[in-house]
């Protein structure tokens, strides 16, 4: 059976593929690899989430399930005064994300390896960004959404991207059960970006 991208220690042979891409008008370089989500390209859902994210007034950002790092790295570049934390359970993804932070000359982003919110216990964020591991199933994705609430500052928000035909509806429903306000903020190319916040949350 093919290895999942959310394996802790991928065993597939390494095969680095470097990509350079303009996102929000800025060139970025990313090293990608086998055993890590979206080798050789930026995922369309990832791109939609990056286009939708608003970093005004944001000081602390979490990229949950960072993969090779595109979401957190773009956030760190667009918001140089904020501190970005990137987390992934896949150690190869974390290694690549660290390399990509260096390649893009960022000093305001760090990568922590571990399961879900475990590496950031005790921290609070203004913005949590997540392209969730849909293939791992609801039993993994829903608890991440539920837990996000306690890792947000009172005015903070969670942004989640999902394929329209692969769970976006049930994710939005779950977000509306967890958050005071849950709504769709962007759609395109078969994906939807959804936002969850406390009522009166105003940073998104
Ligand atoms: C759909 S990929 C998105 C990767 C990256 N953010 C992107 O957009 O290219 C989901 C990521 O979540 C990670 N992941 C899966 N389960 C996780 C968990 N329990 N805790 C942290 N990360 C997890 C996977 O290893 C994978 O890198």
Instruction: Kindly give the number of the ligand 1 atom that is closest to the alpha carbon of 38.
Output: 9
- In this structure, the strands spanning 181-188 and 191-197 are antiparallel
pLDDT for residue 119: 98
pLDDT for residue 1: 47
Mean predicted lDDT score pLDDT of the chain: 95
49-93 tens-digit pLDDT: 999 999 999 999 999 999 999 999 999 999 999 999 999 999 999
Q: 5 CB less than 6 Å from ligand 1?
A: yes
Q: Which residues of 127-158 are buried (b: 16+ CB within 10 A; e: fewer)?
A: bbbbbbbbeeeeebbbebbeebbebbbeebbb
Residue 160 has pLDDT above 50, yes or no: yes
- Top CATH class of 42-197 equals alpha beta
Residue pair 201/155 in contact (Cβ under 8 Å)? The answer is yes
Hey, where are the domains in the chain?
42-197
Residue 158: strand pairing partners: 128, 196
Distance 69 CA to ligand 1 centre (A): 10
Q: 71 CB less than 6 Å from ligand 1?
A: yes
Residue to mutate (ligand 1; options 8, 40, 88; most atoms within 8 A of CB): 88
Instruction: Kindly give the number of the ligand 1 atom that is closest to the alpha carbon of 90.
Output: 25
Residue 16 has pLDDT above 70, yes or no: yes
DSSP 117-179: TGGGTT--EEEEEE---GGG-HHHHHHHHHHHGGGEEEEEEEEEEEETTTTHHHHHHHHHHHS
Residue entry with tokens 């991208």: 5
Share of the chain above pLDDT 90, in %: 88
Residue to mutate (ligand 1; options 12, 34, 46, 89; most atoms within 8 A of CB): 89
Span 161-170, mean pLDDT? 95
Residue entry with tokens 């890590």: 36
- In this structure, the strands spanning 125-130 and 152-163 are parallel
Q: 133 CB less than 6 Å from ligand 1?
A: yes
The dihedral over CA atoms of 83, 6, 189, 169, expressed in degrees to the nearest 10, equals -90
Residue to mutate (ligand 1; options 47, 52, 67; most atoms within 8 A of CB): 67
Dist. CA 89–CA 129, nearest whole Å: 16
pLDDT for residue 2: 55
**Exposed (0-12), middle (13-18) or buried (19+): which is 22, by Cβ within 10 Å?**
exposed
């Amino acid at each position: 059976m093919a290895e999942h991208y959310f394996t802790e220690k991928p065993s597939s042979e390494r095969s680095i593929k470097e990509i350079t891409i303009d996102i929000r008008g800025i060139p970025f370089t990313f090293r990608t690899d086998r055993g890590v989500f979206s080798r050789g390209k930026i995922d369309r859902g990832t791109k939609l989430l990056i286009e939708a994210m608003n970093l005004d007034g944001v000081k602390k950002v979490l990229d949950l399930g960072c993969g090779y790092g595109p979401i957190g790295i773009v956030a760190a570049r667009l918001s140089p005064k904020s501190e970005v934390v990137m987390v992934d359970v896949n150690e190869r993804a974390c290694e690549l994300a660290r390399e990509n932070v260096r390649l893009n000359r960022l000093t305001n982003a760090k990568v922590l390896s571990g399961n879900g919110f475990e590496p950031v216990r005790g921290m609070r964020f203004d913005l949590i960004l997540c392209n969730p591991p849909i293939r791992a199933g609801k039993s993994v994705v829903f608890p991440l959404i539920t837990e996000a609430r306690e890792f947000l500052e009172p005015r903070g928000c969670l942004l989640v991207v999902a394929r329209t035909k692969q769970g976006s509806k049930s994710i939005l429903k779950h977000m509306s059960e967890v958050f005071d306000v849950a709504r769709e903020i962007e759609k395109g190319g078969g994906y939807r970006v959804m936002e969850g916040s406390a009522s009166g949350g105003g940073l998104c």
